Chains A and B, each alone.
Chain A
Amino acid sequence: MLVIKEDRTATMEFDIEIIRKDFPILSQKVNGQPLVYLDNAASSQKPLAVIDAISDYYKTTHSNVHRGVHYLSQRATTAYEDTREKVRALINAKLDHEIIFTRGTTESINLLASSLGKHQIQKGDEIVISEMEHHSNIVPWQLLCEETGAILKVIPVNDQGEITEESYHNVINEKTKIVAICHVSNTLGTINSIASIIEYAHQFGALTVIDGAQALPHMTVDVQQLNCDFYCFSGHKMFGPTGIGILYGKEALLDALPPYHGGGNMIENVTFEKTTYNKLPHKFEAGTPNIAGGIGLGAAIDYIMKIGYEEIGKYEDELAKYGHEQLSAIKNLRFIGDATEKSAVFSFVIEGIHPSDLGTILDQQGIAVRTGHHCTQPLMDKFGISGTVRASFAFYNTIDEVDRLVNGINKAVAMLS
């Protein structure tokens, strides 16, 4: 378990060796080599605290939530609903019921596209996304455009992989009804100036949807300060379980939206003539939810908060700085995305070497990276490539692992050239 060392000022010391012991999966060997896990932007690993919370829940607490009068149901409900409060506190939402549990970021965005689309989008309206969006923040809006006759507009990114003020000023206007944009790019690592984009979108009365899947594992998010209308993220990228995610929305906006799925739990009263819907958040949570996933996410949030985003940020900045230096020294390596504000994600290509070949040889050396288009094909088109190699770091990665990566790449290049 995580041991927190406290000094006299009660700040916590970041001890990488102790932290790594909290993640049992990291201590294994892959292809005979100690695993170097650098695919965190796809999914992060889970600390024992999360694994134990899920296991304990099934051993001691499992029951269906919300309507049971018996002991286990009430305990399960309390544990599950505790996570809602933890999420609220984590992102500084005003109210618990502004936190909707979903299966993940993808479902959160689909929920919005579906429910917003039914009432608020008409032919000729414009929906604005950016060129660096993940397919999950492109396709739901395309589907909505096809249904309604709305038009999808795209904010371009520059060669560094950034969205400039000029570029979004050129796209957002009085026709814009929704601006859906990522906080941090999964492919480039770019941290977007979303507060400014949100403020600008609001000047035209547009609603703002932020895909925060890549932000929560690394940085503090304050939805009130950002003043975004909706914010979406996934549990599994922030050290929690798969199959659980969050949709945050401002109360008044969520209240005005029609439900997404119908079923149990989301109703107030059902007759064959008419059904009235439950209050927030349950209106959007039909059926038996992912209770274990919710409880696991709560444990992941506790874990992150114990370490603290400030410590995580400081440590990851060091990793990013060292990684950038070391990778830059590799001959013929070109970063795809080199933004000034960037998380510890490196996407790159090496001249004359196919990313899948490089990924295969790295895997043989126990190094897990992702290769391909990273679900951002339009972004690959912009850079004129079919894919990249992406090494994405988390706070449990080490300086030594940066060296392993660099040595691994050098070996691969020698073999493949």
Chain B
Amino acid sequence: MLSIDEKQNDIIEDFSIFDDWVGKYEYLIDFGKSLPMIDEKYKLDENLIKGCQSKVWLNTEMKEDIVIYSADSDAVITKGLVGLMVHVLSNQTPEAIVNSDLYFIDKIGLKDHLSPNRSNGLLSMIKQMKMYALGYTVKN
């Protein structure tokens, strides 16, 4: 399994071929569309990320010391963004997730999506993902 940073570097490389916003957003949109939907049974209010204009559901499971995330959104760009986060952080140990530095968002030119007033709630999503991971480290 690739490490968090290896996955981030792969994404940065994927995005490096785009020289304008259209390519980047088309990638995000296609990525969002290609992601499997979260299982309907996980689309619970308690799994909704607060602070999003679009709905974002995040489900977390622990399997053999690694954290498995799955997420979904009713907005496709948001789904692409959360899909990237899930791709980077899922299948990692709780410690690696808690200590991760998510530099790839800045590097691929989507840092604006991390501003606190941003309606897609990506920042809340990252906090929530790390909170879950932190919870698992405490449980262990």
Q: Roughly how many angstroms separate A354 CA and B74 CA in the complex, as a whole number?
A: 7
Q: Is the CB of A387 within 8 A of B53?
A: yes
Q: Roughly how many angstroms separate A386 CA and B78 CA in the complex, as a whole number?
A: 15
Chain B contacts for A359, CB-based, 8 A: 119
Q: Is the CB of B21 within 8 A of A360?
A: no
Cβ-closest chain B residue relative to A359: B119
Interface residues of A in 1-53 (CB under 8 A from B): 31
Chain A contacts for B74, CB-based, 8 A: 354, 386
Q: A364 contacts which of B25, B53, B55, B119 (Cβ < 8 Å)?
A: B25
Say if the beta carbon of B29 comes within 8 Å of chain A: yes
Query: Given A31-B21, A372-B53, A415-B22, do A357 and B76 touch, yes or no (CB 8 Å)?
Result: yes
Q: Roughly how many angstroms separate A354 CA and B25 CA in the complex, as a whole number?
A: 15
Q: Is the CB of A357 within 8 A of B53?
A: no
Chain B contacts for A355, CB-based, 8 A: 53
Q: Roughly how many angstroms separate A361 CA and B22 CA in the complex, as a whole number?
A: 9
Chain A contacts for B26, CB-based, 8 A: 415
Q: B25 contacts which of A356, A372, A387, A415 (Cβ < 8 Å)?
A: A415
Q: Roughly how many angstroms separate A364 CA and B28 CA in the complex, as a whole number?
A: 14
Q: Is the CB of B21 within 8 A of A356?
A: no
Query: In angstroms, how far is the closest chain A Cβ from the Cβ of B137?
Result: 33
Query: In angstroms, how far is the closest chain A Cβ from the Cβ of B99?
Result: 30
Chain A contacts for B55, CB-based, 8 A: 386
Q: Is the CB of A354 within 8 A of B21?
A: no
Say if the beta carbon of B77 comes within 8 Å of chain A: yes
Q: Roughly how many angstroms separate A308 CA and B120 CA in the complex, as a whole number?
A: 40
Q: Roughly how many angstroms separate A324 CA and B74 CA in the complex, as a whole number?
A: 28
Cβ-closest chain B residue relative to A352: B76
Chain A contacts for B120, CB-based, 8 A: 356, 360
Say if the beta carbon of A371 comes within 8 Å of chain B: yes
Say if the beta carbon of B123 comes within 8 Å of chain A: no
Q: Roughly how many angstroms separate A31 CA and B20 CA in the complex, as a whole number?
A: 10
Q: A361 contacts which of B25, B54, B78 (Cβ < 8 Å)?
A: B25
Q: What is the 8 Å Cβ interface bit string for chain A, positions 133-157, against chain B (1 contact, 0 not)? A: 0000000000000000000000000
Question: How many A residues, CB 8 Å from partner?
Answer: 15
Q: Roughly how many angstroms separate A158 CA and B54 CA in the complex, as a whole number?
A: 26
Q: Roughly how many angstroms separate A387 CA and B52 CA in the complex, as a whole number?
A: 12
Chain A contacts for B22, CB-based, 8 A: 364, 415
Q: Is the CB of A371 within 8 A of B77?
A: no
Q: Roughly how many angstroms separate A361 CA and B21 CA in the complex, as a whole number?
A: 9
Q: Roughly how many angstroms separate A390 CA and B63 CA in the complex, as a whole number?
A: 44
Say if the beta carbon of B75 comes within 8 Å of chain A: yes
Q: Roughly how many angstroms separate A370 CA and B25 CA in the complex, as a whole number?
A: 19
Say if the beta carbon of A333 comes within 8 Å of chain B: no
Q: Is the CB of B75 within 8 A of A356?
A: yes
Query: In angstroms, how far is the closest chain A Cβ from the Cβ of B52?
Result: 8
Interface residues of A in 355-411 (CB under 8 A from B): 355-357, 359-361, 364, 371-372, 386-387
Query: In angstroms, how far is the closest chain B Cβ from the Cβ of A259?
Result: 35
Say if the beta carbon of A416 comes within 8 Å of chain B: yes
Q: Roughly how many angstroms separate A287 CA and B54 CA in the complex, as a whole number?
A: 41
Chain A contacts for B53, CB-based, 8 A: 355-356, 371-372, 387
Chain B contacts for A386, CB-based, 8 A: 55, 74
Q: Roughly how many angstroms separate A357 CA and B32 CA in the complex, as a whole number?
A: 11
Q: Roughly how many angstroms separate A356 CA and B74 CA in the complex, as a whole number?
A: 10
Interface centre among A31, A354, A355, A359 (most CB of B within 10 A): A354
Query: In angstroms, how far is the closest chain A Cβ from the Cβ of B96?
Result: 30
Chain B contacts for A372, CB-based, 8 A: 53, 119
Query: In angstroms, how far is the closest chain A Cβ from the Cβ of B83?
Result: 14
If A356-B78, A356-B120, A415-B29 are given as contacts, then 7 extra A-B residue pairs at C-beta distance below 8 Å, sorted by A number, are: A354-B75, A354-B78, A356-B119, A357-B29, A357-B77, A360-B120, A364-B25
9 contacts between A and B (CB under 8 A): A356-B120, A357-B75, A359-B119, A360-B77, A361-B77, A364-B25, A371-B53, A386-B55, A415-B29
Q: Which residues of A contact B (CB under 8 A)?
A: 31, 354-357, 359-361, 364, 371-372, 386-387, 415-416
